[in-house]
Chain A
Amino acid sequence: MEYTIAHQTTYYYADSVNESYTVLHLQPRSDPHQFCTKFAIDVTPHARINSYADRFGNDVQHFAILPPHDALSITTRSNVVTMLEHDPMPPFDATRAMLEADPKVERFYDFLHESSFVRFVDEGATFRAEFGDPGESLGVWCTNVMHHIHASFSYDTDATTVRTTVTEAIARRAGVCQDFAHIMISVLRAAGIPARYVSGYIFRGESRVLGAEASHAWCEAYLPPYGWVGFDPTNDRAINDHFVKVALGRDYRDVSPVRGVYRGGRQSEMSVNVAMDVLAGYQTPAPEARRQQQPQQQQ
């Protein structure tokens, strides 16, 4: 499939701000399963964009706007070709023994331990007990964890914010894709399975999927012999060519699409628009572009 994605984030400040510095994780990755053929950024007020590759291999852009301004708008346009035409087979052959024998695992310290949003709290332990012991068959167990999270949590955009911790989301049994990904990551890491956070987009197509209004998030588990395997607990499905991967990290904090620091007025409002259209490869009736707007909290 080939997509074109327009992602617009706008901040409105009640009082004008200045010296605002912004870091972006918005450029789709290129890897064996997808290829980013075009990426362009437009920032208003005008700013010069600089970039670097972070330690996860994400391409990071950043810019600064020094003079006073009362709004900031960032628009990215990307074209991405995804190549996983069929849903991958469930990773049912992955075993604990294979994981333990894998020499790469010792380098995944960060994906096996707590991070800013992923905490091994007591409430989490009670919750984790619901999944039972992973046993030998890690692939099956991970898939069950995904099913269970999907079944026992409700998708509710009002229940949580970008700062919600795993504990709070578990207590409410509700959240959005970011929370579900964090919860699944915490369950996997606590069970000794390397797990990382993925931010990206999901194509809505003709069916109802959750998280398609804005950036989406899911998680990946390291399951030899497959390597990194994606799970989308929000939609209870494997990762196929409807998913576009933007950035990888320990959790949301490493890959938040837009984060920044500025001087001046505290109050702000933010709006996000994501439009994801198919350019090629989609056979069913032509999809309409989805444009929705929802207010979100400033990160």
Chain B
Amino acid sequence: MKAKQVAKDEQKLVLALIGNPNSGKTTIFNNLTGARQHVGNWPGVTVEKKEGELLWEGRTIQVVDLPGIYGFGVHSEDAAIARDYILLEKPDVVINIVDATNLVRNLYLTLQLLEMGANVVIALNMYDELRAKGADVDTARLSELLSTPVIPTVATRGQGMKEIISQALEAAKAKGRSPLRIDYGREIEAEISDIERYLSSCPKLAEKFVPRWLAIRILEGDEDLLRVIGGFCDLDEIKTRREAALNRLESIFGEEIESLIANRRYGFIESVAKEVIRRYQATEDQASISDKIDRIVTNRYLGIPIFLLTMWMVFQFTFKLGDPLTGLIEGLFERLGELMGAWLEGLGAPKLLSSLLVDGVINGVGSVLVFVPNIFLLFLAISILEDSGYMARAAYIMDRFMHAFGLHGKSFIPLLLGFGCNVPAIMATRTLESKRDRLITILIIPLMSCSARLPIYVLFASAFFSSHQGLVTFSLYLLGIILAILMGVIFKSFLFKGESSHFLMELPPYRMPTLKSTFIHMWERGSHFIRKAGTIIFMVTVLIWVLANLPIGVEYASQESALGRIGSFIAPIFKPAGFSSWEAAVALLFGILAKEVVVSTLGVVYGVEESGLREAISQNWTPLSAYAFMVMSLIYIPCIATIAVIKGETNSWVWAALAVSYSLILGWLVAVIVYQGGLMLGLG
């Protein structure tokens, strides 16, 4: 907030971008700002905030990307952010990106912006697609009817960007545009003026807002807006007037006021559209290609196989192609550690310092970077899926299935990716628009058994269930899925009780993704991870190292170390689950770093090499306690990278803390049930 204030004082121009989802807003933002962008969060919410800078004739112009919305009608975080930003921060110019091929629905938002009195410049995007359909828009006439500049653009090819900027600069000079007035008909107008009159009488309100627009929004039932104007007016008076108005209107029309207002707006838009859209050719090539693809892709019989094949390809691309790169990074850091260790030894540095640098710092940096290949590849794949329009189809195809568990069609892809690695999977939940759907999905992703948990299963299954290894491993994956479904239902009915989730989504035409936006998207996500999650992962890695080496002189991770003592202290908690040794507890503590570390830690605490590990384990565990331990490893606390990414994505420690605490309790409970149940069945 402060920074913005300063920026305004320096007369730095602020342009805000707004538009419907799929209107090409992100592409325009990328075109305007290039690499000079910064991704963060809007204060206090999970919604992402993108800002960037534009250099134009020696001036620096700030560009803010507002969330993609269809209008201000529905109360959502996205709409509230966009509304409050335009209303309270008052950007100099609002660039409204309008999909020219879908003019009517896109202008619905435009109309509301104009009613608000925003200083709007319209970018009529995807103009080439409209032309290909054999139509065009009389932009001069459109501009006249809306009294707003209109520029045709083709964002994917960078066309019209210069015009947009110079037009925006022009518009910025002519401040104080008079808001658009739509005639809502005699009866509604009477009620609007009644509330408007009252609002205008409130001191200072008319200086900041457009009273007529506020009056319309109040009649439409925008409860949230009342809070914004609470400082100016008597809210009870407004509510009384609104109630009276709604009663009068309903007795006249017998219909909801929202419906009447929306109808009038669309009526206005349709008359505008009729006047400005010129069709000179009856061909609809573009649409028919998209139709043809859809006929196959969402086909009753082919739809699901194609979807599964696509998912398999994304999975292979992300993990099969990424894992060798991950291995390369691991190897690199191992080698770097060795070199560093040898170099320090040559210098005669103390062993502790050398260990701090090698096992703590280098290892810490390494554990952040190992995620990078998977994240980059995944987001490459995801942005291709999104930009091409397939993502919307995937949600359409899977929604019936996911809805049965109270989730959204778009939850499927993140959950599936969770089997590879929970970290990119949680980052992939960005495609979910509703906060409720997104948070539930984030919270249950850690129950998807990621590939890092496999080494634990392999170790224990081969030591105790050598003839049924596959079955045992499979049972754990299945257990994870069942628990995820269960927890999803629980979260839905307790945490988000009464919050409705709906599925009303545009299926945009298929489009060719552009290299530029795909790479910007990929880069943005990857660097976001390093910045947001990187520090947390790094710090915890160093912290665990410190705990394993304190007090000074103690053997690494031994029972006498601080970590060993913590392990011994908490070990009795796991008695009912059948594994109360301090070794198991320390292994679980280390597992917080990354789940596969459980295996190497067991090697350290039992003082054996990897080859002797199976032997050591079969002496200290029973098959039943081993299974309970695997169950615990599956469920308990997500690894630190997952925790960090939950914090980063939700912008709150609360959700991260919830993920940690519920999984810890659930893990313990299920492990105990397994062990005690097994004992009762005589499996001990």
Does chain A bind chain B? Answer: no
Residues of A within 8 A of B (CB): none
Interface of B with A (CB < 8 Å)?
A: none
